Chain A
């Protein structure tokens, strides 16, 4: 799992059926690389989150049939910019 920060919401009305109605967020890693994740938790922009990748992302999305390769697993209680870059 990786530590990421939520940047913003992402809305895609026209999407593949297998993505269902899952909400999407844009997250960045400590280098500023952007990624799109499925968010089953309800994270807000600025929250530091754990992102789950590979096939575990599909299970984490609540249903192994969801086509995602990155899913938020939880919101980190205490984290900040310095700990992120240390």
Chain B
């Protein structure tokens, strides 16, 4: 699983039917600058630190075995003691 920070929501109206109307979030993996898109079955806010699963576990985590996701958020981190992460977590608490 990867530790990521939520940047915001992503709107994609024209999508494949398999994606249903699930929320898609832009997330940034800790320690990397590249943005990724994750399915959010939990309900996260921008700024939240979350854990996300990849590969085929992402399909199960999104609710069913045939859900086409390769990155799914599985939990919001309550407290994250990391020098790099603390700045983000504090900013969110304010």
Chain B residues contacting A2 (CB-CB under 8 Å) are 36-37
Chain A min CB distance to B85 (Å): 19
Interface residues on B, range: 20 to 34
State the CA gap A32–B54 with chains docked (Å): 23
> Chain A binding site: helix, strand, loop or mixed by DSSP?
mixed
Chain B residues contacting A54 (CB-CB under 8 Å) are 54-56, 58, 70
Let me know if A40 and B16 touch, CB within 8 A: yes
Chain B min CB distance to A1 (Å): 4
Let me know if A74 and B68 touch, CB within 8 A: no
Residue of A nearest to B38 (CB): A1
User: What 1/0 flags go to B7-47 for Cβ under 8 Å of A?
Assistant: 00011111110110000101000000011111100000000
Let me know if B37 and A41 touch, CB within 8 A: no
The number of chain A residues with a CB under 8 A from chain B is: 27
Let me know if A73 and B16 touch, CB within 8 A: yes
State the CA gap A77–B10 with chains docked (Å): 8
Let me know if B70 and A50 touch, CB within 8 A: no
Q: Indicate whether A59 sits within 8 Å of B14 (C-beta atoms), given known contacts A1-B37, A1-B70, A30-B34.
A: no
Chain A residues contacting B14 (CB-CB under 8 Å) are 41-42, 74-75
Chain A residues contacting B36 (CB-CB under 8 Å) are 1-3
B50 within 8 A of A: no
Let me know if B12 and A77 touch, CB within 8 A: yes
Let me know if A73 and B12 touch, CB within 8 A: yes
Chain A residues contacting B66 (CB-CB under 8 Å) are 59, 64
Q: Which residues of B contact A (CB under 8 A)?
A: 10-16, 18-19, 24, 26, 34-39, 54-56, 58-59, 66-71
